[in-house]
Structure 1
Amino acid sequence: MKNIGIIGAGSMAEAMLSGFIQGEVYDAQHIYVTNKSNAERLNDLQRQYGVNISLNKKEILEKADLIFLAMKPKDVKEAIHSIKRYVTEKHLFISVLAGVSTSVIEEMLEKKVPVIRAMPNTSASIRLSATGMAKGAYATDEQLTFAKNLFKAIGTVEIVEEEQLDAVTGLAGSGPAYIYYLVEAMELAGKEVGLDEETARSFIIQTLYGASEMLKQTKKDASVLRKEVTSPGGTTEAGIHVLKTNGFKEMMIECVKQAQARSKELKHSFNEMLLKERA
């Protein structure tokens, strides 16, 4: 079994390690976590999950041959600079960084190291992530299959072209936050119409769960299921009318597009940074 090294200790890193451990994909003893300098955060992860921790990057690279890049995208340059002297071609890198291309990572590493980009979401912590994945120039199909199987243990995986990962980021990577924001609004609505918080939350959660299972099990289009619920002149039609009048669908489309655009902006900024360094 390969040892995993996770560089970064934020929400996405925790979601993955939690999913791997809870899903019995990896034992905690095979997972090594490091970050820039926050020893307190590392200690919290060790107490909660039993993983190995260290601020010594050399130690992490020597013990792990599968390395996850899970820091904030803005910190990737500094993070790679701190480890690249210890990197060998035996390492496989899996990056979960929004907007940072495999070619940028390969160039920063200054070695022909296999790099795979994965865009999961935080539902990985309960093994229900939706992950998009693409391989870089030096990664093999076998390594891509290995990475796909690894992430399938914490959700679903779709192999896409790397250019499509910006769209995956906008739709699925950021997607849970859109749903949580919807739930926030529904909870407020529940309060407004006279339900206590606990009762409203119970109804909302079950409604979301039931709707997602209907989509999954019936395989019907969302528009078809919506129309089946919406009787002419009924209560659902009255509610849907408000959403249509206020441009709900258009706002959701724009929401995803803006997140995708931000991912592209990050990618372009990293590419420009490398061009300036070469000049």
Structure 2
Amino acid sequence: MKRIGIIGVGEIGRAMVTGLCDGDEASPEVFLSPRGARTAAELSERYESVRVCAGNQEVVDRSEVVIIAVRGQDRHEALAGLKVDADKTVVNVMSGVANDDLRHVLATDATLVRAIPLPSIRERRSVTVTFPSHPVVDALFERLGGAQPVADEAAFNVFSTLTGTLTTHYSYLAALTSWAVGRGIASDDADRYVRGLFQGVGRALSDETRSLHQLAADHETPNGNNERIRTTWFDAANSEALGRALDGLLTDL
């Protein structure tokens, strides 16, 4: 795979280009749509192998693999009139847009693969869920941190639902910082401590010999502080509320 096109150069498009072009490996040629012009121009200035095309059709024509990264609600406008030949491979990273929907929009017989790349692919540290499994697409995401193909679109939507919890995690950390500030801790000190606390916890996730439940238990002393917060705040009612929120998002997806 030597030529990759990206239509829609937002946060995920930027992250993919960075992950593909940073490092010691030879970079593929990357063709960007003018949509997201400022970001596209910045990336083309930074990386010799990146080019900004005059329009979306040029991106398609010059690429072997075409990544559709526009917002789902913009797909009809952004993709109108595109001709995508059957020998192309199209990667659909639009949240909530099924491959059947995209095939209808593009009116193409090209291979379509859904994927859930996350911003951390810029550092080649993110596992990307794909459906259906495809050797070229899976190899692309292996380079960016790992590919995790799933068996069907129902399973894909479950994983897509899980990604909807990312900003909740950040907001949880922000709430901890705000609580400390409200009790007299300087904002910078609270922020630095909370970041360090959870960066350390995050590193423990790389130990795949222990389940997540085991990691929680290993960080908890019986009748200790962590157990107290877990059992008094993240109780059965809160756990059920989280499950209902996830079920609602899954239904919409």
Shorter-normalised TM range: 0.7 to 0.9
Q: One-letter code of the match for 1:125?
A: R
> How far 1:156 sits from its partner (Å)?
2.9
Name which of structure 1's ranges 202-211 and 156-165 shifts more when overlaid on structure 2.
202-211
RMSD (CA atoms) = 2.6
Name which of structure 1's ranges 113-122 and 148-157 shifts more when overlaid on structure 2.
148-157
Q: Which runs of 5+ in 1 are unaligned?
A: 136-140, 264-279
Are the aligned partners of 1:124 and 1:155 in contact in 2 as well (CA < 8 Å)?
A: yes
Partner deviation per Cα, 1:212-265 (whole Å, 9 max, x = no partner): 3334316323333333433344322332233135844334333433332332xx
Distance 1:162 1:246, change over 3 A: closer
TM-score, length-scaled by structure 1: 0.78
TM-score, length-scaled by structure 2: 0.85
> How far 1:70 sits from its partner (Å)?
0.3
**Structure 1 match to 2:144:** 154
What pairs up with 1:1-279 in 2 under 5 angstroms? 1-23=1-23, 27=27, 30-36=29-35, 38-49=36-47, 51-84=50-83, 87-135=84-132, 144-160=134-150, 161-171=152-162, 173-217=163-207, 219-245=209-235, 247-263=237-253
Are the aligned partners of 1:186 and 1:204 in contact in 2 as well (CA < 8 Å)?
A: yes
Match of 2:95, SS? coil
Residues in 2 aligned to 1:39 and 1:225: alpha-carbon distance in whole angstroms: 44
Greater than 6 Å deviation, 4+ residue runs = none
Are the aligned partners of 1:170 and 1:258 in contact in 2 as well (CA < 8 Å)?
A: no
> How far 1:12 sits from its partner (Å)?
1.4
The number of residues matched between the two structures is 251
Q: Percent identity?
A: 20
Residues in 1 aligned to 2:161 and 2:114: alpha-carbon distance in whole angstroms: 15
Please identify which structure carries the higher helix content.
1
Q: Which runs of 5+ in 2 are unaligned?
A: none
Task: Flag the structure with more relative contact order, 1 or 2, with Cα contacts below 8 A and sequence separation at least 6.
Answer: 1
Residues in 2 aligned to 1:226 and 1:58: alpha-carbon distance in whole angstroms: 50
Are the aligned partners of 1:121 and 1:174 in contact in 2 as well (CA < 8 Å)?
A: no
Residues in 2 aligned to 1:220 and 1:212: alpha-carbon distance in whole angstroms: 13
Are the aligned partners of 1:169 and 1:259 in contact in 2 as well (CA < 8 Å)?
A: no
Q: One-letter code of the match for 2:78?
A: A
